[in-house]
Structure 1
Amino acid sequence: MAARGRPRGFDPDTALRQALDLFWARGYEGTSLNDLAAAMGVASASIYACFGSKEQLFRRTMALYGATAGEPPRRALREQPTARAAIHAMLRATADEITRPDSPHYCMLILAAPTGAVENHAVREFLADLRRDMFATIRDRLARGVADGDLAAPASRVDGIARYYTTVVQGLSVQARDGASRSDLETVIACAMAAWDTLASGPAVRQPAAAADWTDAGRP
């Protein structure tokens, strides 16, 4: 009887790239193990032997995604000399990646598993952790700008600015998936950067009054 396992010529790196392409196109729940076996050109037993479960394979593909399509925006944050230039370059790199003609028009961190079956909760939390890391990376770059003196915003406002630009990044992905062109996204980026001076150095943003204050307003 022939031994079970990887077929001759099985290349884990190539197979992982094929799995990434399929997960990217169909999302986590829209991709079955049989789909993966067909795309990777191997038996399901070989997938289990090399990568473990479907969830473990997905986690590996997300690491590959982060090192490839996810790297240009992070590199922009690291390499640009000022916080403003870093945010602008990050947004433009994001728009470039999610409108490439040779890949699906969305970011896998945002849309690969937004909702779904209860048993896939761990996958959604895994992606949520990656998105929280995106926020932390943006926040850290802004904090670096404060330390370097090129960002005048008080430290107390850094979290809010980081959350705003994280939201813009995520919104770009949804817009691209729904058909927005690279030019359309550039308009969004221009609007987001037009807000920079107000966010980074303007007066403190006034917080809305508490619900009780609104309720009691005008009472004698």
Structure 2
Amino acid sequence: MEVFWARGYEGAQLTELTSAAGIAPPSFYAAFGSKEAAFCEAVDRYVATVGAVPMQLLESAPTVREGLRAMLVASIDVALSRRPGGCLLVLGVVNDLPANEGARRHLMDKRRKTRELIAARIERGRREGELSAGTDTQQMAAFIHGVMQMISFQARDGATRQELTLLLEPALKACK
């Protein structure tokens, strides 16, 4: 997971993957079958561990606004937790090459699920009267999800915690 997170699907070399796993190339292929399968397992592990924290904070907060803030702050934490920075789900596959299609689709599915979780929490806030009845929960979720992706890209480009934190208030103002 760490190798794919740091180098991306395209940049991760078999020698780095086998070294990180402490196995030889034949054992790597026996365990995973392919680099793509190993990548998908790494992404699933990322979602279940690192990526779970922001979503748990979103869901457990007493209000939708507090949940969105906590999720975004945790996203900043994740994006800055490793060098070169960013989120595996956003930056794991950057080239739209035919050979990357399976890995790219896997990431797209995980990002779609993240957006659905955000939308569900926003919808709950709307139902509970925190947001106006006319709130377009899907549009708001897409916007907040886009802010999460922006955090990842800017972290990869070297943005500081302070710079990333400045993104929160404008994003949360859209959640009324």
- In the alignment, the residues of structure 1 paired with residue 32 and residue 142 of structure 2 have an alpha-carbon distance, to the nearest angstrom, of 35
Q: Which amino acid aligns with 1:122?
A: G
Q: 1:214 corresponds to which residue?
A: none
RMSD (CA atoms) = 1.5
Q: Which stretch of structure 1 is more off in the superposition, 116-125 or 23-32?
A: 116-125
The CA deviation at 1:116 is: 4.1
1:59 equivalent in alignment to 2:40: yes
Mapping for residues 41-190 of structure 1, pairs under 5 Å: 41-100=22-81, 102-154=82-134, 157-190=136-169
Query: Is 1:31 the equivalent of 2:19?
Result: no
Q: Quote the Cα distance in structure 2 between the aligned partners of 1:92 and 1:79.
A: 14
SS in structure 1 opposite 2:167? helix
> Residue 5 of structure 1 corresponds to which residue in structure 2?
none
Structure 1 residue ranges without an equivalent (≥5) = 1-19, 201-220
Instruction: Quote the sequence identity (%).
Output: 38
DSSP 3-state at the match of 1:29: helix
TM-score (ref. length: structure 2): 0.93
Higher relative contact order (CA 8 A, sep 6+): 2
- Give the conservation status (yes or no) of the 8 Å contact 2:6–2:85: no
Q: Distance in 2 between matches of 1:149 and 1:195?
A: 16
Structure 2: 5+ residue runs without aligned partners? none
SS at structure 2 position matched to 1:46: helix
Greater Rg by CA: 1
Partners of 1:33 and 1:96 in 2: CA distance? 29
TM-superposition CA deviations, 1:161-204 (whole Å, max 9, x none): 111111111001001100111111111112212333xxx3xxxx
Contact map agreement 1:29 1:116 (CA 8 A) in 2: no
Contact residue 127 and residue 133 of structure 2 kept, 8 A:
no
